[in-house]
Amino acid sequence: MAKTHGTKKDGTPITDATIEALADEAEAGYDVAELRQRQVGRPSIGAAPASVESVRLDPELKRDLLLRAAAEGASVSDVIRRALREYVQAS
């Protein structure tokens, strides 16, 4: 059995052959223009960089938030942003 050095994001084992193939690819060089086109980091959610705000939630509110997000198939952050946006626009 081949020795593994961990796994890739998709769960594929990293073997000596994998490392050798990656090293060969790196030695051959990369297309710089293609690398610059790749998106890195989180996708933007507005016209400018977003800020991160912290808020404390009591256990019941946290539970309700998690249940609501799961029911909608949305992230907790999406539910919070939508609720806050509706609240602010209503005032």
Q: Given a cut of 90, is residue 77 above it in pLDDT? A: yes
**DSSP labels for 6-53?**
EE-TTS-EEEHHHHHHHHHHHHH---HHHHHHS--SSPP-SSSPPP--
22-55: per-residue pLDDT in tens? 899 888 888 888 777 776 777 777 777 888 899 9
Average pLDDT, the chain: 88
How much is the pLDDT for 1? Answer: 65
Domain ranges within the chain, ordered by starting residue: 1-31, 56-91
pTM given for the model = 0.53
